[in-house]
Amino acid sequence: MFQRFLGLVDMEVLKAMPGIIDSGYVRFDPAVLLIYYVLIMQGSFDDLVPQVCFWRHRIYQQCLSIVPDWTRSPKLTDMDFTAAFLILWMAIGCYDNLSHWNLFCQTCHIANELGIHDLESHPEGEHTVKDDTRRILFWQLLRIECNLRLFQKRPPVLTAKPWNVNLPSVSINGARDAMDATLATICMLHARLTLVVFDCCKILDDGEKTQGEARMSLEKAVQQIRGLLVDWQLEESFEKVPGLKHKMYYADTLVFGYSLIVELVRRIGVHAHPELQMESRRSARRVLDVMTFLGDLESPEPEYRAITLSIISANPFIPFFALRDFAIADTDRDTARMDFEMLSGFANMVMEGAKAQGFHSAVPFAQHLLETSRGDGLHFTPLI
């Protein structure tokens, strides 16, 4: 997926940078430097050396020091758009919630200034690499906005004005290899899920709908999400595909889909049918189960779980707290204890990973996860 973000980048410039970056006679545009450092950081995920974790954090801090205020730039380019998106992507992966929102707003500003929100009115060509990259980046931004709106109740930014951007022209049947097919599948399914979330946000923002009408609409959305996960055989694909890199894309999509179900049932509230409540609990369990499985597959050692930790950071923690609430309310102590064991194991993985990966800002939150997974009153000893 990462390579698909680089269709707007002059790769020849980046290839020349290692030999001249330390020269005192060359000055690089901030966007070029940011993309260069992000590529270095991305490459470090393949380097299983504990010291690399420290350098990932240093690289990210270096990138933050370079980020310009794009809202004041007199002329913006596709390179700026790519750089802004990539540093936003890094902020999410590094648990930097303080920078996350600001970088998202800046990236949306660039997209709007470049007219990408209205791409189909003036495309360079339907099948050009550049326009397809613009579509990919726009739809990734749209997913981030939907997450921010649904899970954090942020206002619309990218979609504050009408937009007209087609889906990227990816083809599953025309995939060149297994990884290409995986990326095409995930790209299309993410887009479908994002559209469901976009509709849910409109439902929740519609002050004229009655509670009953809103509840019925959200229940229908849950059915749509469930149907997409089943129709696209996401669970089966996650189980069958070989290797960590394939599984990580399916894991991210599974976590996204199940998290949506949990949140929508939470929004329905006490009026949700018991069957929906049970589905929400199963979905919350599955989120934690998928991430724990992926972490164990990546490495038994927390300092090597960079991919798992980045996927966790890109998705909300709503399922964790929802499962805890279900466990607290459960009169079946054995079932509740099983859930608290799952919660504790997940919280411990996040804490160990945050410390090992140098995500210092995430440690207090990870500590909170550990404290809330104790299962007080159940005579349960957490995995600390």
How many angstroms separate the CA atoms of 237 and 185, rounded? 10
- Whether residue 374 is contained in a domain is answered as no
CA angle 313/297/334 to nearest 5° reads 80
- Quick check: is 57 in a domain? yes
Query: Is the model more confident about 33 or about 19?
Result: 33
For residues 270 and 215, the model is more confident at: 215
| Under 8 Å between Cβ of 323 and 295 | no
Residue 383: inside a domain: no
* Cα 384 to Cα 382: distance, rounded to the nearest angstrom: 6
- Dmax (CA) for the chain in angstroms is 71
The pLDDT tens digits for 42-93 are: 765 555 454 556 677 788 888 999 999 999 998 999 999 999 999 999 899 8
Region 175-204 average pLDDT? 87
The answer to whether the Cα torsion of 99, 104, 110, 113 is positive or negative is: negative
User: Considering only CA atoms, which of 110, 87, 111, 81 is closest in space to residue 100?
Assistant: 87
Is there a domain that residue 351 lies in? no
230 located within any domain: no
Give me the torsion for CA of 59, 60, 63, 65, rounded to 10°.
-100
- The domain in which residue 94 lies consists of 1-119
Using DSSP, state whether 197 is helix, strand or coil: helix
Under a CB-based contact definition with an 8 Å cutoff, are residues 296 and 308 in contact?
Answer: no
Give dist(CA 350, CA 372) in Å, integer: 13
Which amino acid type is present at position 92?
I
- Spacing of C-alpha 161 from chain mean position: 23
Cα Rg, the chain, nearest whole Å: 21
Strands, E assignment, the chain: none
pLDDT score, position 44: 58
Is 126 part of any domain?
A: no
Query: Can you read off the two tokens belonging to residue 179?
Result: 């990884």
pLDDT digits (tens, 9 = 90+) for 322-372: 999 999 999 999 999 999 999 999 999 999 888 887 778 888 999 999 999
DSSP label at residue 75: S
- Report, as an integer, the average pLDDT of 147-173: 86
Q: Are 13 and 31 in contact (CB under 8 A)?
A: no
> Does the structure show a pLDDT above 70 at 5?
no
Look at residue 2 and tell me whether its pLDDT is greater than 70: no
In a domain, residue 16? The reply is yes
Burial of 8 (0-12, 13-18, 19+ CB in 10 A): buried
pTM of the shown model: 0.89
Query: Does the residue 56 lie in any domain?
Result: yes
Give how many domains the chain has, as a whole number.
Answer: 1
Mean pLDDT of the chain: 86
| pLDDT of 195 strictly over 90 | yes
Contact call for residues 273 and 215 (beta carbons, < 8 A) = no
The letter for the amino acid at 78 is D
DSSP 317: S
